[in-house]
Amino acid sequence: MTTTNATRGFGSLNRRSFLKAGGASALAASLLPGLMTGTAKAAYSGTLDMLAWDFQPDTIKSLVGEWTAAGNPAVNVAVIPNLGYTPALQTRLRGGDKIDLFYNFAYNSQKFVNEGWAKTLNGLPGVDDMIADMFESARGRHVNAAGDIISAPYFSAVHMLHYNEKFLADAGLAVPTTLKEIYDASKSLQSTVASPYVAYWVKEFCEEYLHTYLLNEQITAFDDAGQPVFADDPKTVGVFEWWQAMYQEGLAPKSLLTDDPGKLSNEMAQGNAAFYVLHHYFLTSIRSLEGPQSANVKTAPAGPSTLQIGEVLQMGQSDSDDERLATWDLMKYYGWKDTDGKFKVFNQWAKAAGLAAPYAGFFTDPEVVASFPDYYDLALLSDTFATKSNVVPARTLPWYPDFQAKVGDIVHALLLGQATPAKTVEDLTAAAKGAQGGRTL
């Protein structure tokens, strides 16, 4: 763990605020002349190490291969499964492994910076342009409260309600937006399908739904300082009453606490469910299953706000400025645009699985538009990213994984009727405070 001059240089920039970044680039330029003017291609002759989780590794390799072929350094791409990615990555970084660029879960990103496993991107050439290019709603995931840029996007998605258009039309129902409307519509549809509403309510994912539902009712979960404030909103208890009722009254199937999302997609495709709330790209999986109802499934416009998620790319430790600049070039290519200004990598993920990039220009790029299957309403998605979604910036704070792990236990207790909605609010507040306080089980 040697501290190079460059790291100290970066350290001195740590407190600068992105919002005051007007003069910061100039400052960075004066501090790091080598970084700002040198061309990475010529400067770094070594090999870069990249770690990704197992999603179409052949595509990852061919994308990175094209980058190398354009005169850039060679990249060693290592792939490990998503299941167990965090422990493997942490053990490797803790053990002193040098990884230039790695996929990470957004909720780990600030912690990794704090532990010295990931570097901030402050002051790198073009980074401010990348942030400026993003939907404003997405910036809170990549820029922390102090203005440090902690990551670049790997992909992004918004939680959407997928619904069976035919079932609704047959029952004479309008597309629901509020939780109350979803409840009522589910009740009415029970004559068509026994349990109309499905969602990925397994332990690990309850936290995403917590935010999706709170945002749907315009409740602020965490304030700017990261303090839990959802308990202050009188509407919060109502959200949990709704959640409990959906499960207890059988509007959502009992098996939901352990169901796989792939199975739920199939339930929609087969017509065993009418509503499915999850990341927008699950429409691809529902449609491509080609079940009897697949073609009837549509994406509903989001309510006032929904949760925007996204996993990230982070920069690890580098031996030299040149290596860091080369890594940054790869990062820009992989998490933003190629040198021709095209969303080459994101376009590939859109084609492969309907994943999105948190950039406004992405949705209007003709190549991207062509890549998305026709059944996607790109205007709707773009609008949701731009004005109707929230990344909940607290989700990247270092104590957050601890809280996230507890949400599953607490929400499951609510759904199983072991805790009242009021108790759930209390427990969640205590869990957030406990996570911020340090060592607890």
Partner 1 sequence: MASSAFERGRRRSLATSVAIYLGVLVFAIWILLPVWYLVVSSLITPSQLGVKPFPLVPSSVTLDNYAAVLFGNTGGKGIGSTDMGTRLVPTIGQSLLVSSILVVLNLCIAGAAAYGLSRYPFRGARVFELSVIATRIVPAIAIIGPFFVAFRVIGVLNTPWALVISYNVFTLPLAIMILKNYFDQLPREIEEAAKIDGATRLQTLWIIIVPIARPGLVAAGVLIFLEAWSEFFYALVLTNQLTVPPLLAGFQSVQQFNWNALAAATVMSMLPPTVLVLIFQRHVVGALTAGVGK
Partner 2 sequence: MAGAADLLGPKADRAFGLKLVAPAMIILIVLLALPTLLTLVYSLHDVPASGSSFGPFVGLENFTIIFSSPVFWRSAQVTLTFSVGFVILSTVIGLAMAMLLNQRFIGRGLARALLIIPWATPWLVIGILWKWFADGSVGGLNAVLMMLGLTSDYHPFLSDPNTALPITVLAAVWRQASFAGILLLAGLQTLPEELNEAAQLDGANWWQRFSNITLPWLRPVLITVTVFNVIYAFLQFDVVFAMTQGGPGDTTQVLSILIYRQLFVNTNIGLGSALAVILGVVALIGGLTIVRLFYRREMH
Binding-site ranges for partner 2 (CB under 8 A) = 1, 83, 86-87, 90-91, 94-95, 111, 115-117, 202-204, 253-260, 263, 266-267, 272, 401-402, 404-405, 408-409, 412-413, 415-416, 418, 435, 438-441
Using CB distances below 5 to 8 A depending on partner kind, what does residue 281 bind out of partner 2, partner 1, none? partner 1
Using CB distances below 5 to 8 A depending on partner kind, what does residue 314 bind out of partner 2, partner 1, none? none
Using CB distances below 5 to 8 A depending on partner kind, what does residue 58 bind out of partner 2, partner 1, none? partner 1
**Type of residue found at 150:** I
Binding flag, residue 170, partner 1 (CB under 8 A): no
**For partner 2, the closer CB: 160 or 277:** 277
| Distances 174 to 31, 191, 293, 383 between C-alpha atoms, Å | 59, 17, 18, 21
**For partner 1, the closer CB: 18 or 276:** 276
Least separation in angstroms between CB 239 and partner 1: 25
- Binding footprint of partner 1, residue count (CB under 8 A): 43
Site string for partner 1, 88-127 (x = CB under 8 A): x--xx-xxxx------------------------------
Using CB distances below 5 to 8 A depending on partner kind, what does residue 253 bind out of partner 2, partner 1, none? partner 2
Q: What does the alpha-carbon distance between residue 272 and residue 148 come to, in Å, rounded to a whole number? A: 46
Q: What does the alpha-carbon distance between residue 35 and residue 58 come to, in Å, rounded to a whole number? A: 32
Q: What does the alpha-carbon distance between residue 58 and residue 53 come to, in Å, rounded to a whole number? A: 12
**Which of 137-145, 176-184, 287-295, 321-329 is the region at the interface with partner 1 (rule: CB under 8 A)?**
287-295
Q: What does the alpha-carbon distance between residue 60 and residue 295 come to, in Å, rounded to a whole number? A: 30
Q: How many CA atoms lie within 13 A of 34 on its CB side?
A: 13
Select from 1, 42, 69, 83 the one that contacts partner 1 (CB under 8 A): 83
Select from 260, 319, 367, 409 the one that contacts partner 1 (CB under 8 A): 260
Site string for partner 1, 51-70 (x = CB under 8 A): --xxxxxxx-----------
**Which of 76-84, 233-241, 338-346, 394-402 is the region at the interface with partner 1 (rule: CB under 8 A)?**
76-84
Binding flag, residue 208, partner 1 (CB under 8 A): no
**Which of 167-175, 283-291, 329-337, 429-437 is the region at the interface with partner 1 (rule: CB under 8 A)?**
283-291
Which two tokens mark 166? 């035919």
> Could you tell me whether strands 152-164 and 275-279 are parallel, antiparallel, or unpaired per DSSP bridges?
antiparallel
Least separation in angstroms between CB 137 and partner 2: 27
**Nearest alpha-carbon partner for 151 in 160, 138, 168, 163:** 138
Using CB distances below 5 to 8 A depending on partner kind, what does residue 291 bind out of partner 1, partner 2, none? partner 1
Q: Are 77 and 60 in contact (CB under 8 A)?
A: yes
Angle between helix axes 57-69 and 321-335 (nearest 10 degrees) is 120
**For partner 2, the closer CB: 85 or 359:** 85
**For partner 2, the closer CB: 235 or 263:** 263
What SS3 class is residue 129?
helix
Neighbours of 201 (CB within 10 A): 25
Binding flag, residue 339, partner 1 (CB under 8 A): no
Site residues for partner 1, window 353-372 (CB under 8 A)?
Answer: 353, 355
> H or E element: which one contains 49?
strand 48-53
Neighbours of 71 (CB within 10 A): 9
> Could you tell me whether strands 152-164 and 297-299 are parallel, antiparallel, or unpaired per DSSP bridges?
antiparallel
**Which of 329-354 are b and which e, b meaning 16 or more Cβ less than 10 Å from the residue's Cβ?**
bbbbbbbbbbeeeebbbbbbbbbebb
Q: What does the alpha-carbon distance between residue 132 and residue 301 come to, in Å, rounded to a whole number? A: 26
Binding flag, residue 1, partner 1 (CB under 8 A): no
Binding flag, residue 265, partner 1 (CB under 8 A): yes
Residue with token string 């031996």 = 319
Interacting residues with partner 1 (CB under 8 A): 53-59, 78-84, 87-88, 91-92, 94-97, 260-263, 265-267, 269-270, 272, 281, 284-285, 288-292, 311, 353, 355
